[in-house]
Structure 1
Amino acid sequence: MNSQKLLVDNLDDSVLWKALKSGDEKAFSSLFKKYYSHLVRYGNSFTPFPEKVQDCVQDVFTDVWVYKNSLNDNVVVKAYLLSSVRKRIARLHERDHIFRKSTTVDLIPFTFDFTIEDILIADESMAIKVLTLNQLINNLPARQKEALYLRYHQGLSVEQIAELLGVNYQSANNLIHRSLLNIRKNWKENKSLLFLLLSQVF
């Protein structure tokens, strides 16, 4: 099959990845366009310097293309790219001496701000509930917040989150479970409304 003739934007990640590894520039471009903004937004959660984050994301894609022949055939592309950005930002912090020990970003606050689409806010009462939920999520410990983000906002499996965070499966599962418990514990409204709004956040 001639990959140059494929409608690459409609292919799943595994097909695009294999095509990229064979030197298909269109497949590479498609993955870049698909994930660039997601990766920048994730990276911005670790540092207040968006231009450096953009450089990190571009460097990740450059490495993917340059070292494409040595990449693993069977990867979950989104998880691989998120992990690569996370590691590169850790090296950025280490290089800039922001922390004395920065081989990981575990010491760096995860500051992603969750918001619910304005279309859901039909009246003042609902707006207050939405604001309350946003605050509950954003007040979670950074590690829990990141695990929740990766699980529900990025759709990663618990196994993938564990690998990305450098912890075992049970630890990753505990992070997600504790984050949801913390939200439910402080939610004073109807529980069914909570789950409705959570589904819209993620």
Structure 2
Amino acid sequence: MKTTVLPFTSFDDITLWNNLKEGDEKSFSMLFERYYADLVRYGNSLSPYEEKVQDCVQDVFTDIWVYRASLQGSVVVKAYLLSSVRKRIARLFERDHIFRKTTSTDSIAFLLEFSVEHELIDDDYATKEKVIHLNKLLNELPSRQKEALYLRYNQGLTVEQIAEMLDVNYQSASNLLHRGLLSLRKEWKGAFSLFLLLSSSSF
């Protein structure tokens, strides 16, 4: 009986993760290629220094490979990587005396500009105008609310994972999301509906 070998691209995160824990370089490379761009983009939302962000992301992967034998097996890989990048950047800020004597991530400003225009299916002018207005409202939200919305609807993290990343309890993370969405609805009822529609279709 012939055995079908699945391509590496079809392997889920946890399979690749457990393989790299056993020293499989191909699995490690696959995870690197799968998430590098996302992690750099997220890192750039926390720091304006692009080269340092890239170094931080590469350092995260280097540590994963060096300390692979001690890694936990039951992790949500994407959430783990995003959280690791955030912590690495916080340490970078502390080293550069931006945070002075603390490594807390509370003071990190979320710099990413939301842009959901590419999610449009048609060229309808009125719809484009609505999306531009939605982007404006999103980018006027407080930094923590904006980051929580990004992690939830762009990166697909759960409330529990967001709470862990932002070093807050579940209720605080839930409140950040609720207040962000409530602000959108308060400023423009159509923004709330349009944001959820675009999120459900694209994220």
- The TM-score, its normalising length taken from structure 1, stands at 0.91
Shift of 1:192: 4.4
Q: Answer yes or no: is the 8 Å Cα contact 1:94–1:100 preserved in 2.
A: yes
Give the match's secondary structure for 2:45.
Answer: coil
Distance 2:27 2:189 in 1: 48
Corresponding position: 1:142 with 2:132: no
Q: State how many pairs are aligned.
A: 198
Task: Measure, in 2, the Cα distance between the counterparts of 1:94 and 1:57.
Answer: 17
- Per mean C-alpha deviation after superposition, the further-off stretch among 132-141 and 57-66 is 132-141
- Distance (Å, rounded) in 1 between the aligned partners of 2:195 and 2:119: 17
CA separation of 1:46 and 1:131: change in aligned 2, threshold 3 A: same
Deviations 1:115-158 (A, max 9, x none): 12346262332222111100111111111111111111111111
Does residue 27 of structure 2 align to residue 27 of structure 1? yes
Deviation for aligned residue 1:177: 0.8
Aligned partner of 1:179: which letter? G
Q: In structure 2, how many angstroms separate the alpha carbons of the residues matched to 1:116 and 1:42?
A: 16
Taking every aligned residue pair, what percent have the same amino acid on both sides? 64
Letter of the structure 2 residue corresponding to residue 195 of structure 1: L
Separation (CA, whole Å) in 2 of partners of 1:115 and 1:21? 37
- Preserved contact between residue 8 and residue 30 of structure 2 (Cα < 8 Å): yes
Would you say the 8 A contact 1:43–1:86 is kept in 2?
yes
Partner residue in 2 for 1:110:
110
1:75-134 per-residue CA deviation (whole Å, 9 max, x = no partner) reads: 100010000000000011011112324412221210111112346262332222111100
Structure 2 residues without counterparts, runs of 5 or longer: none
Q: What does residue 131 of structure 2 align with? A: 130
Matched, 1:185 2:186: yes
| TM-score of the pair, normalised by structure 2 | 0.90
After TM superposition, give the deviation of residue 195 of structure 1 in Å.
3.5
